């Protein structure tokens, strides 16, 4: 297995672009998986395209957030797409996490902690009194209780999560520079892996502009 694993966030409706992303990420020194989020999954041809993908590590980033019955039914409804990973918000609650885990069978169920686009101020605005780090720790404990397979958190919280959760850790909010876009809790890929992330999720820093060049920059950044 290659040392560094990266999920490319395929945030587009353009299947041609996704084909190009896949082509440019084969046979490199990094192991690439492909993350499909709300934009692609809700696009007209998205579902059928995913069905056509064979032998790739694919991640359905549905970020389910609902009552136990709806979460488990939704997971069963996408089982034909054979995702290796699926996401549910840990804030769905312990019963929903348990029901979802039961329904997910062979698919790895990832619990999403606090979105990387939120900081302490943003959390307060939506009525949470804990700060980001405390809330992520609290949710990681819940993920352990529900026996989830993986956690999504920012790369800044990997060490905290590792203290209470033994599954895989997947970190979005990855940036090569200090340009954050809409993200708040960012870190470079190198720092994320140094902190112990199993996977980085990288979207715009690879998919905007020249994909080939961006991948080369990532390989160089990781000293590969």
Which residues are catalytically annotated?
Answer: 63
CB atoms near residue 178 (< 10 Å) = 7
Closer to ligand C5P at the Cβ: 103 or 114? 114
Our finding on whether 204 is near ligand C5P (CB under 6 A) is: yes
Closer to ligand C5P at the Cβ: 33 or 173? 173
Our finding on whether 68 is near ligand C5P (CB under 6 A) is: no
Q: Which stretch binds ligand C5P (CB under 6 A): 51-59, 67-75, 136-144, 201-209?
A: 201-209
Our finding on whether 115 is near ligand C5P (CB under 6 A) is: yes
Our finding on whether 112 is near ligand C5P (CB under 6 A) is: yes
Q: Which stretch binds ligand C5P (CB under 6 A): 24-32, 75-83, 110-118, 155-163?
A: 110-118
Closer to ligand C5P at the Cβ: 169 or 202? 202
Q: Identify the CA nearest to 150 among candidates 172, 131, 132, 134.
A: 172
Our finding on whether 200 is near ligand C5P (CB under 6 A) is: no
Chain positions contacting ligand C5P, by CB under 6 A: 9, 11, 37, 112, 115-116, 152, 172-174, 181, 183, 201-205
């Amino acid at each position: 297995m290659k040392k560094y694993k990266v999920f490319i966030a395929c945030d587009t409706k353009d299947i041609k672009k996704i084909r190009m992303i896949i082509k440019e990420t084969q046979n490199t020194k990094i192991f690439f998986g492909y993350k499909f989020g709300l934009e692609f999954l809700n696009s007209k041809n998205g579902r059928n395209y995913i069905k056509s993908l064979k032998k790739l590590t694919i991640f359905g980033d549905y970020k389910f957030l609902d009552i136990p019955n709806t979460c488990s039914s939704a997971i069963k409804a996408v089982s034909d797409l054979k995702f290796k990973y699926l996401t549910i918000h840990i804030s769905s609650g312990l019963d929903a996490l348990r029901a979802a885990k039961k329904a997910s069978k062979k698919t790895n169920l990832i619990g999403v902690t606090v979105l990387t686009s939120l900081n302490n101020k943003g959390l307060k605005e939506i009525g949470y009194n804990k700060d980001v780090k405390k809330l992520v720790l609290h949710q990681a404990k819940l993920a352990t209780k529900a026996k989830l397979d993986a956690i999504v958190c920012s790369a800044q919280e990997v060490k905290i999560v590792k203290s209470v959760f033994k599954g895989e850790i997947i970190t979005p909010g990855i940036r090569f520079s200090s340009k954050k876009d809409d993200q708040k809790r960012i870190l470079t890929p190198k720092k994320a892996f140094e902190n112990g992330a199993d996977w980085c999720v990288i979207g715009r820093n690879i998919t905007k502009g020249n994909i080939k060049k961006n991948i080369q920059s990532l390989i160089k950044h990781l000293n590969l």
